[in-house]
Amino acid sequence: MSANNDIHDVLIIGSGATGSIAALVLAKAGHDVVCLEQGGWIEPGDFAHLHNDWAWRRATSWNPDVNMRSHPDDYPVDSDSSQVLMWNGVGGSTNVYGAIWPRYRPSDFRKGDEHGLQPNWPITYEDIAPHYDRVDLLLGTSGLAGDPAQPPRAPCPTGPLPFTAAAGRLAGAFDALGWHWWPVEAGVVSEAYDGRPGCNGCGMCNGCPRGSMTLNSRSIWPKALAAGARLQTHARVLRIETGADGRATGAIWKNRITGMEERTRARIVIVAANGVGTPRLLLASGNLANSSGMVGRNLLHHTLVAAQIWVDEPVNGQMGYVASLISREFAETDVSRGFVNGFNFNCLTSTPSAGEMTTGWMSGTTAPWGAGHHEWFEKHFGHSIGLFAIGDDLPNPDNRVFLDESRTDEDGVPVIRMHYEPGENDRRMMNYMLDRLEDVGRAAGAFEIALQDYRDANGVYRTPAWHMIGTCRMGADPETSVVNGWHQSWDVPNMFIMDGSVLATGGVVNPTPTISALALRASEHIRDNFADLSGTTRTLAA
Task: Give residue 428's identity as a one-letter amino acid code.
Answer: R
Burial of 211 (0-12, 13-18, 19+ CB in 10 A): middle
Do the strands 325-327 and 343-347 form a parallel or antiparallel pair, or are they unpaired? antiparallel
pTM of the model: 0.95
Burial of 176 (0-12, 13-18, 19+ CB in 10 A): middle
Contact 7, 33 (CB under 8 A): no
Residues 6+ apart with CB under 8 A from 45: none
Residues 6+ apart with CB under 8 A from 228: 27, 30, 32, 33
Do the strands 303-310 and 325-327 form a parallel or antiparallel pair, or are they unpaired? unpaired
**E-strand spans in 465-540?**
495-497
* Helical pair 512-528 and 125-139, crossing angle rounded to 10 deg: 100
DSSP 66-133: HHHH--TT---EEESS---B---STTGGGGTS--B-PPP-GGGGBHHHHTSSSPBPSS-HHHHHHHHH
Domains of the chain, earliest start first: 1-46+72-99+102-140+215-298+472-536 (3.50.50.60), 149-213+303-391+421-462 (3.30.410)
359-362 contacts, C-beta under 8 A, 24 or more apart: 362/306, 362/308, 362/386, 362/452
- Residue 151's alpha-carbon distances to 102, 105, 175, 403, in angstroms, are 12, 8, 22, 41
Secondary structure of residue 48 in the 3-state scheme: helix
Secondary structure of residue 496 in the 3-state scheme: strand
pLDDT of the chain along its 542 residues, tens only? 666 678 999 999 999 999 999 999 999 999 999 999 999 999 888 888 888 887 788 888 888 888 888 788 888 888 887 778 889 999 999 998 888 999 999 999 999 999 999 999 999 999 999 999 999 999 999 999 999 999 999 999 999 998 888 889 999 999 999 999 999 999 999 999 999 999 988 876 777 888 899 999 999 999 999 999 999 999 999 999 999 999 999 999 999 999 999 999 999 999 999 999 999 999 999 999 999 999 999 999 999 999 999 999 998 877 766 778 999 999 999 999 999 999 999 987 666 666 677 777 777 788 888 998 999 888 988 898 989 999 999 999 999 999 998 999 888 889 999 999 999 999 999 999 999 999 999 999 999 999 998 888 788 887 776 799 999 999 999 999 999 999 999 999 999 999 999 999 999 999 999 999 999 999 999 999 999 999 844 444 43
